[in-house]
Amino acid sequence: MQNIINRFLKYVKIDTQSDPNSKTTPSTEKQWYLADLLVEELLEIGMEEVSIDNKAYITATLPSNLTTEIPTIGFISHFDTSPDFSGTDVNPQIIENYDGKDIVLNAMENIVLSPDYFEDLLQYKGQTLITTDGTTLLGADDKAGITEIVTAMEYLINHPEIKHGKIRVGFTPDEEIGRGAHHFDVEKFGADWAYTMDGSQVGELEYENFNAASAKVVIKGKSVHPGYAKNKMVNAISIASEFLEILPPEETPQNTSGREGFFHVHHIKGEIEHAEFELIVRDHDKTFFENRKQLLRDITEKLNDIHGNCISIEIKDQYYNMREKVEPVFHIVELAKEAMEAMRVTPIIKPIRGGTDGSQLSYMGLPCPNIFAGGHNFHGKYEYVPVESMIKATEVIIKICELVAKKSV
């Protein structure tokens, strides 16, 4: 336990926020500090073929200790943290033997992590929690995953009696801004399949995610003195409002769950002569996903007919549901499920209401389901992780390696 705590605290105290407005990779210079530290640590624990490229992608190998060839598997996590909330001067708090009551994160600001609001806390009574101090995010997304992978590799190196094949690990920048897999060299990585350690609560096992697209709508208006504007003014703000009112109000993030898709408007600005807004489109079902994009085009066409071709729309696909690529090799999900059950973890198999590097990697030729890393309330000041969950995730990694060897020889 102390080894995992120490390693995790070391990682989270390094600010690695990514920046969606940057054109570089990694998107922020500060991600290099943790990247370089990880390279040193992988070498220290005895990993081989440790490398880091000019975009901060890290790979390393734990060689097989078998005499026969079996599939090569991989484990992947990202070291950047979300730009949604501050990651500077992270000051973690350790709550031992959690009693199931409110946790005061910051008394001065009256910031409280309460099971009355975050019911999941009650699952972890009696356990050791690591929380924020109420002023930053924690960074368990996904420094918990990195902690678990490094710790598992260290354990396997120190326990050669556990038989395993060749294992590859990969750590990436910029996952939080959707670019974690953009420069990942799948061929060089050389794994038959892999797992991202990037899920949330203990037991999560995911092989489905949203199909995702972004859309930007731009409206050009005409400004005329309002006293003399009849049949002349084109108010871009009003047309933007008209567009958004046509979207189904019940199909928003706050009104959907499970496999239900949504439209989410996240930026809007406007004047009479110019208005624009951006939204994302999400759906697990490919047909529904295509229908959602078509609805946006249909609304654009309808309002252009009414208002005189003043609206333009740009829709870009971002990623797709990895289920299509994982189902043909479903044994890799079953294997992770078996490993969890062997470690007395109840698998929670459900679709991700978001994306993961694994979805992009699966379409790049590396089938890649997602396994829990243990954290909760990502991207904000209420983030926490139970240490026992990180221990379980570490044990699951080790057991997967062991099961692959047993089933392949």
Query: DSSP secondary-structure letter at 122?
Result: G
* Helix, strand, coil fractions of the chain, as percent rounded to 5: 35, 25, 40
Catalytic-role residue among 80, 251, 283, 357: 80
Domain ranges of the chain: 2-208+321-408, 211-319
pLDDT at 342: 98
Structure confidence at residue 398 as a pLDDT band (50, 70, 90): very high
**Which tokens is 338 given?**
């078996």
pLDDT at 178: 86
| Confidence check: pLDDT of 408 > 90 | no
User: Binding site for Zn(2+): which residues?
Assistant: 78, 141, 176, 198, 379
How distant, in Å, are the alpha carbons of 218, 261, 298, 369 from that of 314? 9, 20, 13, 31
- Give the Cα separation of 111 and 92 in Å (integer): 14
pTM value? 0.90
The CATH code of domain 211-319 reads: 3.30.70.360
Catalytic-role residue among 175, 204, 208, 357: 175
Mean pLDDT within 237-258: 96
User: Over the chain, what is the mean pLDDT?
Assistant: 96
Mean pLDDT within 10-29: 96
Over its C-alpha atoms, the chain yields an Rg (Å, rounded) of: 24
In which region does residue 15 sit, left (phi positive, over 0), alpha (psi from -120 to 50) or beta (all else)? beta
- Give the Cα separation of 7 and 195 in Å (integer): 21
Mean pLDDT within 327-345: 97
| CATH homologous superfamily for the domain 2-208+321-408 | Zn peptidases (3.40.630.10)
Mean pLDDT within 377-385: 96
Query: Nearest to residue 178, comparing CAs of 30, 354, 340?
Result: 354
| Confidence check: pLDDT of 354 > 90 | no
**Which tokens is 184 given?**
């990942």
pLDDT at 102: 97
User: 153-178: per-residue pLDDT in tens?
Assistant: 999 999 999 999 999 999 999 999 98
Question: Is 278 marked active-site?
Answer: no
Percent of the chain exceeding pLDDT 90 equals: 96
| Confidence check: pLDDT of 290 > 90 | yes
- Give the Cα separation of 217 and 263 in Å (integer): 13
Structure confidence at residue 261 as a pLDDT band (50, 70, 90): very high
Mean pLDDT within 67-95: 96
| Per-position b or e across 18-31, b if 16+ CB within 10 A of its CB | bbeeeeebbbbebb
DSSP character string of 145-202: HHHHHHHHHHHHHH-TTS----EEEEEES-GGGT-TTTT--HHHH--SEEEEEEE-ST
